[in-house]
Structure 1
Amino acid sequence: MDRINKWGLLNSLIEIVNNESSDDPHAILAQYFLKNFDRIGRLNVYDLAEECYTSRASIRRFCKSLGYENFVDIKNEFEEYIKESSHYYRNCTDSENYMQLLSSQIYEMTQQINRNIGLQIEEIVTVIHQSKQIVFLVSDIYTRQCTEFQKEMILSGKMTYVVNQQYINANILKQLSAEDLFITISVGGFFAKETLKLVEDLPACKMLLTSNGNEKFRESYDKVFYMSGEEDGRNRSVYHMFGIEYCLEIIYLEYYKRFLK
């Protein structure tokens, strides 16, 4: 399975345990994965079936409901999660004063974003204001930040949608017109690259918020706004963790100042 939606599996499992009854078969399996992620690599489908009191066929159906062919695919995904997460936190805590290091990195990030996005923020909010509606296309890792922005925009009278996991079949994308604004969020550029074919034929005004300088993005998007020019998407950084939240906050503040105050 292509890892277009990084962290999509983890988010799906958390959503199941948060919303389903604890005795629901899917909730039992989801909870097992979350509690035992650190030893998933050593388990096989027989272990899982025995410990969860279920059948291999039920496990396979559960995996397919999450978008994976089988248990092996989910095992491989969890191994990638552990690698990516540990890389970011190991780098932070290698410093004796990790709090000072993190605050310094966040400060440098905000200054870089202010220099890059700040110079174009009037253009961004003007396009937002002129659009009939806004549609975000994001991987799961940025859904929360975009949903908060969505709430503020809706309360400000601008209908806004957030499309993530089910973007291939999202009806709202099929209904876009030239009066609408379409925004892709992809800090490292991987998600933007994998969804280029989907984006190219959309009739809306298309914006991309990224830190990846891939020239193909300029060919497919009307506007490309760079948070920085240094992220390649291979590993998490402060831009992945905090950059989108900061960008969307200053964009909304500027929108509020210009059109709502």
Structure 2
Amino acid sequence: MDPIAVIYRYYNNASTTDTYYKVVSYILRHLREIPQLSITELAEKTYTSQATISRFVRMIGLENFRDFRQYFDEVLHSSKNSFLRMSPSTLSVVNTQPQTFLSEYTGQVIDALEDLRQTLRFEDVDELIHRVDQAENTALLGFSDSLQVAKDIQLGYLVLGKAVEVAESQVKMKEVMTRYTSRDLVIILSNYGNFFAHYQSFYQHLSTSEIPLVLITQNYNAMDMFGFVQTIFLSSRRHLAIGNYPMRVFSDYYVRRLLAIHQLG
């Protein structure tokens, strides 16, 4: 899970008396300071200790305080509109012609889903289901909203009494890479390549291991496919403006097909 998502999940659920609440509250209120602070300074400002800060950093899925500062530096330098994939011109249309934007945006979503309908083959889905059935252990990897899709698939397997892992943190991902063998399976869900951009070093190590890798992506022909035992494309062209609708529909279809095969097959 994206560290900022972990932070917000904690912030939205924790009591003000919980261990990391002061740390989370300070970060969200002083975001621009974080890349400049030392671990000692952050501990002092949050009335905690360096040990508490170190544990917090690992709790949100980062390895050390250096990675923590670098992560928030990247957050601060990313575009305010990037998470919605909106250019300044698109934002202007939303502001001045909201009905026009709504019509165009829904049309783009429909177009992307029609592309998915024509591109996705049920035989590929069945092949992946078979791979997971045969694997001793299966882990799903993703970044940001792809992780929620991974959890939907994870819940589908729970209904069947099979446990699959979703590696949300760097710590968990490294554990998977260390523990998994050729008898296991790793499935990477990546809408437009963000997973590979954020976890480049991890993927390089993973791709040279003996672990079988499967890629599910909306980014047609954007990756070197030779490192994967199977690649499932969810589109024949890029639909950058509409987010992960094809991936979400895929996960819903995958779980339905999974249950149909195992309960009725």
> Normalising to structure 2: TM-score of the pair?
0.73
Q: CA deviation at 1:169?
A: 5.5
1:108-147 aligned within 5 A: 108-118=111-121, 120-147=124-151
What runs of 5+ residues in structure 2 fail to find an aligned partner?
Answer: none
Q: Does 1:30 align with 2:24?
A: yes
1:219 aligned to which of 223, 226, 229: 226
Aligned length: 247
Distance 2:126 2:252 in 1: 14
Q: Is the 8 A contact 2:138 2:164 kept in 1?
A: yes
1:151 aligned to which of 152, 155, 175: 155
Partner AA of 2:7 in structure 1: L
Q: CA deviation at 1:189?
A: 1.8
Partner AA of 1:30 in structure 2: V
1:192 aligned to which of 191, 196, 215: 196
Residue of structure 2 in register with 1:162 after alignment: 166
Residue of structure 1 in register with 2:104 after alignment: 101
- Partner of 1:135, secondary structure, is strand
Residue of structure 1 in register with 2:7 after alignment: 13
What runs of 5+ residues in structure 1 fail to find an aligned partner?
Answer: none
Distance 1:136 1:96 in 2: 38
> Which range moved further: 15-24 or 159-168?
15-24
Give the % identical residues: 10
Q: CA deviation at 1:125?
A: 2.7
- Partner of 1:260, secondary structure, is helix
> Which range moved further: 128-137 or 80-89?
80-89
Structure 1 residues 34, 102: CA separation in 2 closer, same or farther (over 3 Å shift)?
farther
1:20-59 aligned within 5 A: 20-24=14-18, 26-35=20-29, 40=32, 54=47
Q: Is the 8 A contact 2:143 2:194 kept in 1?
A: no
Structure 1 residues 166, 45: CA separation in 2 closer, same or farther (over 3 Å shift)?
closer
Residue of structure 1 in register with 2:261 after alignment: 258
Structure 1 residues 24, 71: CA separation in 2 closer, same or farther (over 3 Å shift)?
farther
Distance 1:36 1:126 in 2: 49
Q: Is the 8 A contact 1:136 1:185 kept in 2?
A: yes
Structure 1 residues 81, 54: CA separation in 2 closer, same or farther (over 3 Å shift)?
farther
